[in-house]
Structure 1
Amino acid sequence: MPIRAVVYVSQPVVDLSFEHLESLVADAARFNRMAGVTGVLLHDGVRFVQYFEGPEDGVISVYERVLQSKSHTEIVELARGLVSARQFPYWSMHRLPADPLLVGQLARANWSRFKRSDQSSVPGSGWGIDLLAAAVAPHVAAA
């Protein structure tokens, strides 16, 4: 079964509290588990970058929820497409804090492919998937 992925950037609504954000992530994790979707949400306090992957029907369902959510605005899809294998199979959804520089780099990165480079740990590779993998790696090792 082909695996699809979507990555987007958005801005949270101004009154989104930490507790509300944690509740949204927990709810998304439950929904994603049922849909067979895995992913990660990075948040710098001003913007979100979310990447999720899974079977086509699951990704479509999750993305529809994303687009209908009233918790964020200005959704900009950075990329969507096929992946040869899951890039981030560890979490149905997990929120990671991120600094504004990283979120900005991810928003401006080249997302024309979802395959990691052979040298994905090299900073400044320019590929969005490599930047995201490098940002997530320390949190996976700690889990």
Structure 2
Amino acid sequence: MPLCAVAYVSDVAGPLSAEQLDALVDDAVRFNSLAGVTGVLLFDGGRFLQYFEGPDDGVSAVHERVLQARSHRAIVALGHARVPKRYFPYWSMRWLGVEPATIEQLASGDWQAFADPVQGGPPPHGGMERLLRFVAPHQPSISAGDATERLT
């Protein structure tokens, strides 16, 4: 089944407590699980950077939901493309707190392609490669036990 992905940055629409953010992510986990979508959300207290991946119809449903959400504004698309595999297979959605400079650095990468068509992985020094390097320490190791671990 072909997979696609979307990445964007946006500004928080107003004050967002840790409890509100957790509720927002819990809701996304439920919706994304049903849509077959996985991904990661970075939050620096004022901005989001989100990447999500899955089948075309699931990604379209999640993307429409993102565009309609009142929790953020000033959405800037970084990319929307095919991917050769899931980069975040265990997370329906996971949020990670980051410094503002991290979102700036990741957003400034080249997001035109999520994957190198020849190599099958993200282009070196592109936005996706930067995101993968940043998130790598937070990813579960690949083992049978991790496949059932719920990370939110």
Common fold by TM > 0.5: yes
**Partner residue, 1:128:** 127
- Could you tell me which residue of structure 2 aligns to residue 111 of structure 1? 111
Deviation of the 1:36 alpha carbon: 0.2
In the alignment, the residues of structure 2 paired with residue 82 and residue 89 of structure 1 have an alpha-carbon distance, to the nearest angstrom, of: 15
Asked if structure 1 preserves the Cα contact closer than 8 Å seen for 2:4 and 2:59, the reply is yes
Q: % of aligned pairs identical?
A: 51
In terms of mean alpha carbon deviation, does 48-57 or 79-88 score higher?
A: 79-88
> Which residue of structure 2 lines up, in the alignment, with residue 139 of structure 1?
138
CA distance in 2 between partners of 1:83 and 1:18 (Å)? 32
The DSSP-based 3-state class of the residue aligned with 1:88 is coil
Change (3 A) 1:79 1:70: same
Point out where structure 1 has 5 or more consecutive residues left out of the alignment.
none
- How far is 1:119 from its partner? 9.8
Name 1:82's counterpart in structure 2.
82
Shift of residue 14 of structure 1?
1.8
CA–CA distance in structure 1, aligned partners of residues 103 and 136 of structure 2: 16
Deviation at 1:17, TM superposition (A): 1.5
Q: TM-score, normalised by structure 1?
A: 0.90
Distance 2:120 2:37 in 1: 25
Instruction: Give the alignment of 1:51-66 within 5 angstroms.
Output: 51-66=51-66
Aligned to 1:126, what secondary structure does the other structure show? coil
Q: 1:46 corresponds to which residue?
A: 46
Letter in 2 for 1:77: A
The count of corresponding residues between Structure 1 and Structure 2 is 139
Structure 1 CA distance, aligned partners of 2:104 and 2:3? 26
Root mean square deviation of aligned Cα: 1.9
Q: Return the letter of the residue paired with 1:138.
A: P
Deviation digits for residues 35-68 of structure 1, max 9, x if unmatched? 0000000011111000000000000000000000
Instruction: Report the alpha carbon displacement of residue 93 of structure 1 after superposing the two structures with TM.
Output: 0.3
In the alignment, the residues of structure 1 paired with residue 45 and residue 62 of structure 2 have an alpha-carbon distance, to the nearest angstrom, of 22
Q: CA deviation at 1:139?
A: 0.7
Q: How far has the Cα of 1:10 moved from its partner?
A: 0.2
